[in-house]
Every structure is written in C-alpha cells, then in structure tokens.
C-alpha cells in the first residue's frame, strides 16, 4: 500500500511574525540572561538592605513596628526583645548579601518571615477590618506584604551556584 502526498495533510505553520514584532522579541531574548542576572543581584541587595535597615531601626529604638512586635508576642517580652530581633534582622540581611551558606540561611529567613504572620492569628482585629480577612488594615497590609519578602528570600537563597 502506498501513501500519496495528497493523503498527508500539509504541515501547518504559525502565522508569520512581523519584523516589527520579531526584532524587539529577539533583542529581549538576547538581553534576558543579563537582565535576570542583574535582577537577581538587585533582589539580593534589596532584600538584604531592607532587613538591615529595619533591623537597625529596631536596635536604635526607632522602629514603628516595635510596639506591634511586642503586642503580638505570646509571652512577656522585656526591653531586650526588640533590639535582639533587630540584631537578628541585621545579621540576616548581611548574610543574604554575602551569599554565603545560603542553604543554612533560608530556614532562618523563612522562620523569621513566617513569625511575622503571627499578627494574623494572634491579633486578627489589628490586621482585619470587621473580622473580614479580605479587608486588611494598615497593619494587615504591612504583614501580608511579607509574602513577597518570603518569596524573594526563597528565590535568592535557592538560586543555582554560578
């Protein structure tokens, strides 16, 4: 039995991409690895800088979050707790920027950032308007944005070695 060319459907091709579109796409494809590298560097230094900055504010007693931190703790905290947390954040930030022992840093970042979600569970009235989890207060927004910090910390600490 033979198969004629008339029985085989012609190969379908996608619609041709105009040169006005393909030139920028080609440029983007060439720039993507470099942009990714610079983006990872910006993410690493940005996250590290935020941790150091917020930590220093806690150490020098100027953090607007200090009162929130103490009010959420399930145990009585002395005056030492917020500055100690600040030093921990400074160390985490510098650790992130250094890029050293990332596998050890990730669980500490994760624990610290997940700890901030205690506000949502222990003092929901501070985080939600009218007990509605979709209506965040300013405190709720402050806490929920930590999802982005957590995601960034996971990306930076788990990136492949180069």
| Tens-digit pLDDT string for the chain (162 aa) | 555 555 555 555 555 556 666 777 788 888 888 888 888 899 999 999 999 999 999 999 999 988 888 888 878 888 899 999 999 999 999 998 998 888 888 888 888 888 888 888 888 988 999 989 899 999 999 899 888 888 888 888 887 766
Find the largest Cα–Cα distance for the chain. 90
Q: Provide the pLDDT for residue 48.
A: 93
What own/partner pairs with CB < 8 Å and gap ≥ 24 does 89-92 have?
89/51, 89/52, 89/54, 89/55, 89/58, 90/51, 90/52, 90/55, 90/56, 90/59, 91/55, 92/51, 92/55
Instruction: Indicate the SS3 state at residue 3.
Output: coil
Q: Provide the pLDDT for residue 16.
A: 57
Q: Provide the pLDDT for residue 49.
A: 95
Q: Provide the pLDDT for residue 34.
A: 86
Read off the pTM.
0.75
Other Cβ atoms less than 10 A from the Cβ of 51: the count is: 25
Q: Provide the pLDDT for residue 138.
A: 92
What is the distance in angstroms between the CA of the first residue and the CA of the last residue of the chain? 57
């Amino acid at each position: 039995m033979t198969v004629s060319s008339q029985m085989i459907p012609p190969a379908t091709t996608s619609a041709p991409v105009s040169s006005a579109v393909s030139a920028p796409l080609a440029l983007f494809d060439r720039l993507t690895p470099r942009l990714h590298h610079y983006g990872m560097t910006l993410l690493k230094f940005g996250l590290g800088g935020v941790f150091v900055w917020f930590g220093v504010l806690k150490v020098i007693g100027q953090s607007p979050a200090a009162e929130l931190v103490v009010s959420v703790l399930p145990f009585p905290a002395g005056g030492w707790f917020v500055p100690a947390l600040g030093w921990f954040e400074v160390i985490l930030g510098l650790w992130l920027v250094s890029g050293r022992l990332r596998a050890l840093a990730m669980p500490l970042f994760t624990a610290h950032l997940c700890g901030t979600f205690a506000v949502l569970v222990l003092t929901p009235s501070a985080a939600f308007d009218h007990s509605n989890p979709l209506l965040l207060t300013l405190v709720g927004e402050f806490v929920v944005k930590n999802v982005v910090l957590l995601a960034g910390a996971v990306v930076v600490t788990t990136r492949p070695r180069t």
